Amino acid sequence: MVSISTKSAILKPLERKSVMMRPENWSASTVLSAMANLAWQGSQFINRRLPSRELPEPNWAPGKLMRSWERSSPQLGFPRTTKSLCPKCNAAAVNAFVSGACTLSEFRAVPGVIDAEIVEEAGRILMRKACDRHGPFEDVLATNAAFFKRMESLYTGGDFECTDDASVHDHGPLAIRSGRGMMLVFDLTNRCNMKCSPCYMNANDQGYVHELEMSDVKDIFQRALSFKPRREVNVLFAGGEPTLSPIFLDVVRYGRSVGFKRLHVATNGIRFAEDPLFAVEARSAGLHAVYLQLDGTSNQGNWHRGVSNLFDVKVRALENIARAGMRTTLQVAVVNGGNNHGVGEIVRFAVENIDKIHGVVFQPIMLAGRDQDVRDEDRYSRRYTLSQLADDLKQQALIDWEPLRDWFPMSVYGTFANLLDLMKPNAEVGTLYADVHPNWGQFSPLLVNRKTKQFLPVSSFFNVERFMSDLVAITDGGRGETLTKAQLILSVLRNYHNEKAPAGLSPAHLAGLFKSTVLRFRSDIPDWSDQSYAEIGEWRLLVVTGIWFQDLYVADLSALRMCTTPVVTQEGEISFCAYNGAGWRQVVEHLHKTATLREWHKEHERHKIYANGALVKISSDASSNENAEHERAADVVAHYTGR
């Protein structure tokens, strides 16, 4: 039986000291690090004096692999000016299209763009903008200017500009212009079995149904392969509640059949909790992992979602997902004054269940959909920034977790991707690439002991910042595979500080951790999904991520054009922020409406909606009839795999 732990993983002071300090090994580790550092310096001295090698031009790329100085960068620093949107002009433009007062071309060209300024004031970073018709708007981008500045300073350069993508990215000033993206979001349906807030799409408050059909899905997958760069990409089936789609399992099977391995679903977990067999069916169809919405670690912490036993539902869903052979990423919407006091507890919950949980993604509230028409005073009070997240986790997690040491922009993943691209010049597709604007996506890697449940930031004993700089230097050098691997080993050893590492961790363990990291970026090995779940010893990485999707009040179009989370639709791939925050959802759903609610309910049974304190019925004992469930699961696997 799979069990879920709900207790806190708290390092006691003496335990924490023993984890962090190992004086008996200090001298040996210092010598090892110093020797590696000298060898590294020598290798770079020679490297700089050798003629530069021409970098390869893989088939998946629109050109030769780029060196660091050839990569693009958005405008950074402050004060600076950018393009943004007037919330009222944008709403008017959307309404004009839906009512027939303007054409799609007119909406595409004029979605309400205005100038904006990003400034520092009283230790905060603010966006200020003014519309000639609707006056001024102001919002906060960061409550800690030093944190904001650090994230920008670590940006290492963007991905290729897109080519041959006119039919995919035709969305005017809100169009994506660079990169493949790291997550393709399929909104399979706008129907949902809950009615809660926050909800960026206003589910169950529309008078129509919008659902993708299999013909739409096939066209969308085909378009996803039609332009360059062609990189590995995660696919996220979303909604609404995607498990309500009658073709959900068929879509998963089709995606796997056309070569997409990284197949995920974003869910509230109700279907997975109610039916253990459903998780097995999804896994057999080709689903790799699950993103599970979770706002707190108790039923009370999730009460605002309208289901009285929602945390119990999440726990049961986690059990069933793990039993089916998948891991879960927790997806947390954070509201200032709502649940931000519990972000540390969510991380500890993830640590306690590290064998079932792959990562945690915190998403500060996006004031869109059900939350778009918010009063200014409510917007100011509910607004939550990524710098606040880092500060709150420092205070709540009860470990040495420093915002200015342990957090990095997601774009530094690109340094690792660039290195793997160099090492695999003949790969059919490029490495997964997360070129997220440094203002809007950040992460902090934690190392967790699976046995003791002790955890600490990787950068407390490993110089992540210098390691990333080393990777840039290795990639720019463009040497052969042998020299590249040798430099990589030297960099790992010179940046690893054994005297600060947790007891029981040695440089030898880093090989397994490195392998698991590579599998996060590349899936071109046999049985990749199973291999990525293989046990690698007692240590595991838990990546805590903060992703803030822009709404109309904080929209920065220079960041939107490099969006790595496009929503794939009948109208092409649209930035998640433009789709949900700037009216493109209403446009697409209006153009491709499946049916009115009245028409839909004439042909389809009404699905249950849990709201107003409703109770989801789940079995009281997850182990009841477990043998029968396993027999049924085996039948399902045999049916779909032929084994």
Digit-coded pLDDT (tens) for 560-583 = 999 999 999 999 999 999 999 999
Does some domain include residue 617?
no
Reported residue count of the chain is 643
Count of Cβ atoms closer than 10 Å to residue 77 Cβ: 9
Look at residue 19 in the predicted model and tell me its pLDDT.
41
Query: How far is Cα 369 from Cα 195, in angstroms, rounded to an integer?
Result: 12
| Token pair 């405008």: residue | 75
Q: Where are the alpha helices (DSSP H) in 1-136?
A: 13-20, 26-49, 87-99, 104-109
Does some domain include residue 492?
yes
Tell me the pTM: 0.93
Q: Chain centroid to CA 393: how far?
A: 18
- Say if CB 234 and CB 184 are below 8 A apart: yes
Query: How far is Cα 358 from Cα 350, in angstroms, rounded to an integer?
Result: 8
Mean pLDDT on 81-93:
97
pLDDT digits (tens, 9 = 90+) for 215-235: 999 999 999 999 999 999 999
Look at residue 203 in the predicted model and tell me its pLDDT.
76
Look at residue 202 in the predicted model and tell me its pLDDT.
74
Which of 162, 119, 128, 116 is CA-nearest to residue 558? 116
In the chain, % of residues over pLDDT 70: 92
Phi, psi (deg, nearest 5) at residue 247: -110, 15
Q: What pairing do the DSSP bridges indicate for beta strands 572-575 and 595-596?
A: unpaired
Q: How confident is the model at residue 3 (pLDDT cuts 50, 70, 90)?
A: low
Look at residue 621 in the predicted model and tell me its pLDDT.
53
The packing angle between helices 248-257 and 214-224, to 10°, is 30
Query: How far is Cα 452 from Cα 481, in angstroms, rounded to an integer?
Result: 38
What tokens appear for 220 in the block?
A: 């969308």
Helix (H) / strand (E) containing 374:
none
Please, which contacts does 142-145 make with residues 24 or more away whose CB atoms are closer than 8 Å? Answer: 142/385, 142/386, 142/387, 142/439, 143/385, 143/387, 143/388, 143/391, 144/387, 144/388, 144/390, 144/391, 144/403, 145/120
Which of 460, 340, 454 is CA-nearest to residue 398? 454
Q: How confident is the model at residue 558 (pLDDT cuts 50, 70, 90)?
A: very high
Q: What pairing do the DSSP bridges indicate for beta strands 113-121 and 183-187?
A: unpaired
pLDDT digits (tens, 9 = 90+) for 472-500: 999 999 998 899 999 999 999 999 998 89
- Say if CB 409 and CB 208 are below 8 A apart: no
| Token pair 């990525």: residue | 532
Higher pLDDT, 25 or 468: 468
Query: How far is Cα 390 from Cα 392, in angstroms, rounded to an integer?
Result: 6
Q: Where are the alpha helices (DSSP H) in 51-103?
A: 87-99
**Does residue 176 surpass a pLDDT of 80?**
yes
| Token pair 């990189």: residue | 231
Q: Radius of gyration (Cα) for the chain, nearest Å?
A: 24
Q: What pairing do the DSSP bridges indicate for beta strands 124-131 and 135-142?
A: antiparallel
Query: How far is Cα 219 from Cα 223, in angstroms, rounded to an integer?
Result: 6
Q: Which amino acid, residue 489?
A: I
- Say if CB 291 and CB 236 are below 8 A apart: yes
Q: Is the peptide bond before 79 cis (omega within 30 degrees of 0)?
A: yes
- Say if CB 586 and CB 101 are below 8 A apart: no
Look at residue 634 in the predicted model and tell me its pLDDT.
46
Q: How confident is the model at residue 620 (pLDDT cuts 50, 70, 90)?
A: low
Q: Which residues contact 507 (CB under 8 A, 6 or more apart)?
A: 32, 492, 493, 496, 498
DSSP 65: P
Could you give the 3-state DSSP secondary structure of residue 457?
strand
Mean pLDDT on 55-81:
95
- The strand pairing partners of 120, in sequence order, are 125
Higher pLDDT, 631 or 127: 127
Look at residue 87 in the predicted model and tell me its pLDDT.
97
Q: What is the mean pLDDT of the chain?
A: 91
Query: How far is Cα 466 from Cα 486, in angstroms, rounded to an integer?
Result: 17
Which range (204-208, 273-277, 552-556) has the least confidence? Answer: 204-208
pLDDT digits (tens, 9 = 90+) for 104-138: 999 999 999 999 999 999 999 999 999 999 999 99
* Domain coverage including residue 535: 9-76+406-547
Look at residue 2 in the predicted model and tell me its pLDDT.
57
Q: Which residues contact 346 (CB under 8 A, 6 or more apart)?
A: 294, 296, 297, 330, 332, 360
- Say if CB 44 and CB 87 are below 8 A apart: no
Which range (31-35, 318-322, 603-607) has the least confidence? Answer: 31-35
Does some domain include residue 102?
no
DSSP 593: -
Helix (H) / strand (E) containing 595:
strand 595-596
Burial class (CB in 10 A: 0-12, 13-18, 19+), 400: middle
Does some domain include residue 395?
no
Which range (196-210, 416-430, 455-469) has the least confidence? Answer: 196-210
The total of structural domains in the chain comes to: 1
What tokens appear for 533 in the block?
A: 């779940």
In the chain, % of residues over pLDDT 90: 79
Higher pLDDT, 531 or 465: 465
**Does residue 18 surpass a pLDDT of 50?**
no
